Amino acid sequence: MRRFSARSTLGACLVALVAAVAGCGGGSNAPAPSAGPESGSSASPASTFSVASVSGVGNVVVDGKGRTVYILTSGGHVNVPCTDASGCTKLWPDLPFPKGTSSAKAGSGLKASLLGTKKLSDGETYPTYNGWLLYEYAGDSGSGQAKGEGITSFGGTWYVLNASGNPVKSSAGGSGGGNGY
């Protein structure tokens, strides 16, 4: 009976070990699958841009993950700085090119002639559309959202861009979300 008990204990330990290893195994760093343009895409959000229909704002520019992109304006000034030092990029993440990438690709509905680049003092190169630096909004949990539209924070107002590269000024969003800088 003792042998049976030892074998049973060993077998139970092996089963527990296999289950523990399987539970800890791969995929923990991979993003969760979702519906929309980002599904199956391994591209950086800054490497491809396209146009998608987003409720409340219409057809707007989205990044390689299908997330709505934003610009920051203030008193007629374009590209108001949104920096790591001010804390701005924690709420409004910037989209630097990944290492080895020097330009973005125009996806569906986007005008390739309006895509550009800008190298900033941080040494990184960023995509632009119609001259605007592009950002995501941390309050958008995925594609098809524009919760940052019209929010005033960090010295200006945030807007989405239409396919022509112009700010879309609508009443969607705008209920706060920034810290009023």
Range of the domain at 151: 48-167
Q: Can you point out the beta strands (E) in 39-95?
A: 48-54, 58-62, 70-73
pLDDT for the residue 93: 96
Say if 110 falls within a structural domain.
yes
- Region 141-162: what's the mean pLDDT? 95
pLDDT for the residue 19: 36
pLDDT for the residue 2: 46
Say if 141 falls within a structural domain.
yes
pTM of the model: 0.70
Say if 89 falls within a structural domain.
yes
At residue 116, does pLDDT exceed 60?
Answer: yes
- For 140-151, the pLDDT digits (tens) are 999 999 999 999
pLDDT for the residue 31: 30
Say if 18 falls within a structural domain.
no
- Total of domains in the chain: 1
Say if 180 falls within a structural domain.
no
